[in-house]
Amino acid sequence: MHDTRTAGETSTRDRLEAAALTLFEQHGFDAVTTEQIAAAAGVSTRTFFRHFPTKIDALLGDIDARTLEFALRLHRQPPDLGLNEALIAAITEEEAEATGASMLPADLVRARVLRGTPSLADEIRTYEAKLERHIAEWIGQRTGHDADDFRIRVAAGAYVAARRVVVEEWQRSGGTAPVVDLARRSLETVHVTIT
Amino acid sequence: MHDTRTAGETSTRDRLEAAALTLFEQHGFDAVTTEQIAAAAGVSTRTFFRHFPTKIDALLGDIDARTLEFALRLHRQPPDLGLNEALIAAITEEEAEATGASMLPADLVRARVLRGTPSLADEIRTYEAKLERHIAEWIGQRTGHDADDFRIRVAAGAYVAARRVVVEEWQRSGGTAPVVDLARRSLETVHVTIT
DNA sequence: AATCTGGTGTCACCCACTGCCGCTCGTCAA
DNA sequence: TTGACGAGCGGCAGTGGGTGACACCAGATT
């Protein structure tokens, strides 16, 4: 079916996501029910689950797309860059875009809600698995090894962990800490070398 | 209340855990309901949740105790050992105990169920957060830094990731791969240096 | 004997999530 | 114009994990 919306209208999905973010920020993730979100968007709870597989997805939006985007960003780095330099560049790029004009207030809310719900912050680690596989494939491709190789998987795990801590620290600083420096310092502490 | 069990009797908790492991292995984690576990143990579902906060905990047992145990193992390593060597030693010790006489069949079942439920394997990452904090404190103590220091957290994240991949690889090999070698190779790939 | 205490059953309930059925309203071809 | 078709949605009943409250019972304590 074609999109029949005209200017000024919003899709049900957009209304649900907006309602979810607003309510999450007001009352906290746990205190908000899917029923409330649906009601705030003017639809039934059944419709909520037609647009979001789980309640968490209403907060995270399309997280899969964003992890894939980071992987593509890595792949786009010039091949003469070393692994570490390419990773630093990708993280930096990502932050540059995030703080640029395209930074939606929704992303800020997401970050705030995540930081405000510690149990959720832990649960987010589940999603790192996918990113880790993407990065393993990237390393494998760059180094000519199998992405399933033991050392490649170790390296990918370390990279993902480093990236996570960098992002954590950046958010702790309220977005003021220069990400390039953090990324560089993290990769000085954790040196990845594929023989 | 004192433990009034006599020889031959089993505690409700033990019966629940045994029933859970059996059912999980027979039908898979997702296909088993808490009601079935409780029934198999001869108690009500309410009693199940008195002994295990969640269904996952019936599979994992006291995972907190085990992560803490690993942290203590690290602390017990001789102080003249470097960080990497101490970590290798701790991982090796852990495996030695696991494959020794104290290796309960229950642990084998746990591992099998975890490997047989991929979604669960991802979810397990949630529990790494606690281990990571333990390790950060250990590194901080050894190096004289704050456990909250950025580089310490990066190092802890990398160590935990390395450990996870080592364990993964060890389980993939069916427990045949020598853990010492895996640990050593992983830490050759990921060099952690605290300046 | 009176009391305390911890493990348990029962019941009622909340909430995330799913299957199924039927409605409606555009689209498009006959 | 008509009728088929499909997408989005509401409603409803149901499943399953998890919780709170209350009452009960059996040993242990005094």
Q: Is the CB of B15 under 7 A from strand C?
A: no
Q: What average pLDDT does range B38-60 have in this prediction?
A: 97
- Which residues on chain B are in Cβ contact (under 8 Å) with A165? 150, 153-154, 157
How far: A163 CA to C1 C1' (Å)? Answer: 68
User: Mean pLDDT lowest for which of A69-83, A102-116, A155-169, B92-106?
Assistant: B92-106
What integer pLDDT is reported at residue A1 of this predicted model?
46
Q: What's residue A158's pLDDT?
A: 98
> H or E element: which one contains A7?
none
CB distance B165–A154 less than 8 Å? yes
- Check residue A105 and give its pLDDT: 75
Q: Is B160 on the interface with A (CB under 8 A)?
A: yes
pTM score of the predicted model: 0.90
In SS3 terms, chain B reads as CCCCCCCCCCCHHHHHHHHHHHHHHHHCCCCCCHHHHHHHHCCCHHHHHHHCCCHHHHHHCCHHHHHHHHHHHHHHCCCCCCHHHHHHHHHHHHHHHHHCCCCCHHHHHHHHHHHHCHHHHHHHHHHHHHHHHHHHHHHHHHHCCCCCCHHHHHHHHHHHHHHHHHHHHHHHCCCCCCHHHHHHHHHHHEEECCC
How many pairs of residues across A and B have Cβ atoms under 8 Å apart? Answer: 100
Per the CB < 8 Å rule, is B192 touching A193?
no
What pLDDT, on the 0 to 100 scale, is given for residue A39?
A: 97
CA angle B154, B158, B161 (to 5 degrees): 140
A53 has a chain B CB within 8 A of its CB: no
Chain B residues within 8 A of A150 when measuring between CB atoms? 165, 169, 182, 185-186
Predicted pLDDT at B151:
97
D18 C1' to B55 CA distance, Å:
10
Chain segment A6-55, per-residue pLDDT in tens: 556 689 999 999 999 999 999 999 999 999 999 999 999 999 999 999 99
Please determine, for residue A2, whether its predicted confidence score (pLDDT) is greater than 60. no
- Tens digit of pLDDT for each residue in A146-179? 999 999 999 999 999 999 999 999 988 888 889 9
Contact A164 B158 (CB under 8 A): no
Q: Read off the pLDDT band of A108 (50, 70, 90).
A: confident
Q: Would the pLDDT of B5 be above 90?
A: no
Say whether pLDDT at B26 is over 50: yes
Confidence tier at A145 by pLDDT (50, 70, 90): very high
Q: How far apart are the first and last CA of chain A?
A: 53
| Band of pLDDT at residue A62, cut at 50, 70 and 90 | confident
The whole-number pLDDT of residue B1 equals 46
